[in-house]
Amino acid sequence: MSIFNAMNTSSSALTAQRLRMDTVSANIANAETTRARINDDGEFEPYRRKTVRFQEEGSSFKDQLSRIRTGKHTGLNGVKVSSIEEDDAPFITVYNPNHPDADAEGYVQMPNVDPLQEMVDLMSTTRSYEANVTALNATKGMLMKALEIGR
């Protein structure tokens, strides 16, 4: 077990949370985007909300079996982003006949992004990021004290 395992775990979480923050920010920025991409029919489609999925780093059966067999199972694996997925929720339909993307009846398909939910996700991500910075600083402080004892 390395003395840097705790720092590696915190740093992997910082990286993952930073990507989650960027994804939530993109969702907020595109909350009104009605022409994000062209679908299979050749028509514009609104922006779809994206979510980040995490998983434990090295959590495959092969990795776990290898760690146990070699006796290197530390329990500190860190986290990684397994995927960035699009939300399959239906688009929000809004009546706005003056909008350039309105259909014949005056309805516009808006992105499936709820700004309130995105702000809650952003606050949660920020708190997780701050907690990992605190853990990283605590580990650094303990290692510095250990070096001082060795003097």
What is the per-residue pLDDT for 42? 84
Both structure tokens of 42: 């050749």
Q: Where are the alpha helices (DSSP H) in the chain?
A: 5-29, 61-70, 115-149
Q: How many CB atoms lie within 10 A of CB 40?
A: 6
3-state class of 141 per DSSP? Answer: helix
pLDDT, tens only, 40-70: 888 889 999 999 999 887 666 777 677 777 7
Residue 27 CB contacts under 8 Å (≥ 6 apart), including other chains: 47, 49, 50, 113, 118
Question: Which one-letter DSSP state was computed for residue 31?
Answer: T
C-alpha–C-alpha distance, residues 93 and 81, integer Å: 32
pLDDT, tens only, 95-116: 999 999 999 999 999 999 999 9
Q: pTM of the prediction?
A: 0.81
3-state class of 85 per DSSP? Answer: strand
